[in-house]
Amino acid sequence: MVRSHEGGFLKRISILYRIAGIVLAFVAIFSLALPDLQFNMASDKPIEMTLDELFKTPTADLPRYLRIKDAVVPSGSYIEQRKVKTNILQDIYYPVYPSSVKAKLNLTNLDSIQQALKKDSLAFSVTNDMSIIQNTNKIEARLVIHDTHVTDKDLDSAYFSSSDFTIEGQYDGTTLPNNIKRLLTDENIKISDNALMLKRGEKGMSTSTAIAVIIGAFLMGVLCILTLIPSNTLARFAGFNGTWEEYSQATTVITTLPTNTTVAPFAKRIMAYIIDYAIILVITYSLPIEKEDMYLAGTLLVFLYFTATDIALKGSSIGKMVLKQKVSALDGDFSSKDIIIRNVVKTLSNMFPLIFLYALSNDAKQTIHDLAAKTIVAEKESNRI
């Protein structure tokens, strides 16, 4: 027999980590998932705007993802940041100007083309038309693009003139860092004090992913908040007239293990998870699906993978098989019903990974999905299987 003391294990985690969990939950909901969900409800693609429309729109009313039309980008007017030790390109920043600054390129005038190349004054519009740009030294750019997905290969292969180049990105209210503004100014590129910044290459979450993140982050935040409330207060809230210690003793669960069964160590279960999830990731990314649907596809695959392996390998996944573990029912019969219940709860728990730490609160190392299906993960050798 092993005793399972429910509750209290999260309170042993440093209060700083618990506060960090609340902050992360808040950021995940209000800075990432909720804005994307709101955008998806209003539109399914970036909103097209001219620069004039962009600047006339109050920042609070700007869409989260937008595409700029009727604008140009000078081909050589950008600054880059690289990692100090590896010299790997991190990101680039470049200004965007209204199309009125460009002049039509006269291909019969070779001198004008040579002068443009020397001065990096060639410009590319959103339709990839090549033009000569007028002197912008006295023009303040009111829009800057920040691209964190660019690589050296992109820049070497005509980044600004490629067929898929667009002036678009995510607007999240972030302002241009002062050090970047100084670097642009040093390059003789004037930037307006109230310049807007778009993050190019940032893709929004799908609706299903955003909802899943909101639910998972909300649960994590609530749980972390509950751990900051005094234990005796929680006991009284649960309707128990006594101390937390008395409440804990009253709610202790005694789990009777099958004969000759040794519970698999939590560390070995984690190793099995790593093997299984590596397989799931390989399968997910090999599927011909859109990037924004990866999360939903991965979630579905988690359920299908563990359900299929539990049936085919009789309670083992590939990771458990490698580490000689298997799922055992406390009543001795790991039925199809138990498999479904266990893997439904397990799949839902993936939205909130910290919930797996519940296994550390009891000697049987049972997770929430183990409790739901009345199972344990045991060592195969000890079970003589």
Q: Which residues contact 340 (CB under 8 A, 6 or more apart)?
A: 307
Q: Give residue 290's pLDDT band: very low, low, confident or very high (50, 70, 90).
A: confident
What is the Cβ-side half-sphere exposure of residue 149, based on CA atoms within 13 angstroms? 9
Question: Distance between CA atoms of 197 and 93, rounded to whole angstroms?
Answer: 9
- pLDDT, one tens digit per residue, over 70-106 is 888 887 789 999 988 889 999 999 999 988 776 655 5
H-helix or E-strand containing 305? helix 294-312
Who wins on pLDDT, 46 or 363? Answer: 46
Question: Distance between CA atoms of 196 and 97, rounded to whole angstroms?
Answer: 12
Which tokens is 81 given?
Answer: 């940041």
Q: Which of 14-18, 201-205, 344-348 has the highest mean pLDDT?
A: 344-348
Question: Distance between CA atoms of 296 and 277, rounded to whole angstroms?
Answer: 15
| In 51-209, beta strands by DSSP E | 65-69, 71-74, 79-82, 89-98, 102-104, 122-125, 130-133, 141-147, 168-170, 191-200
- pLDDT, one tens digit per residue, over 144-178 is 999 999 888 888 767 877 767 888 999 999 999 99
Who wins on pLDDT, 215 or 250? Answer: 215
From 41-45, 161-165, 214-218, the region with the lowest mean pLDDT: 161-165
Dihedral angle at the C-alpha atoms of 349, 354, 358, 364, nearest 10 degrees? 80
Question: Distance between CA atoms of 103 and 132, rounded to whole angstroms?
Answer: 5
- pLDDT, one tens digit per residue, over 291-324 is 667 778 888 999 999 999 999 998 999 999 999 9
For range 211-229, the mean pLDDT: 83
Who wins on pLDDT, 364 or 24? Answer: 24
% residues pLDDT > 70 (the chain) = 78
In 3D space, the residue among 128, 127, 367 whose CA is nearest the CA of residue 264 turns out to be 367
How would you label 202-241 residue by residue, b for 16+ Cβ within 10 Å and e otherwise? bebbbbbbbbbbbebbbbbbebbeebeeebeebbeeeebe
The pLDDT value recorded for residue 92 is 94
Question: Distance between CA atoms of 224 and 247, rounded to whole angstroms?
Answer: 20
Which tokens is 353 given?
Answer: 């990974």
The CA-to-CA distance between both ends of the chain, in Å, stands at 21
φ/ψ of 173, rounded to 5, equals 85, -5
In 3D space, the residue among 213, 218, 177, 289 whose CA is nearest the CA of residue 35 turns out to be 213
Say whether pLDDT at 249 is over 60.
no
Residues making up the chain, counted from first to last: 385
Question: Distance between CA atoms of 321 and 315, rounded to whole angstroms?
Answer: 9
Say whether pLDDT at 15 is over 50.
yes
Query: Measured between alpha carbons, how far is residue 292 from residues 36, 202, 203 in Å?
Result: 11, 11, 8
Q: Which residues contact 315 (CB under 8 A, 6 or more apart)?
A: 326, 327, 328, 334
Q: Is-contact 141 180, C-beta < 8 A?
A: no
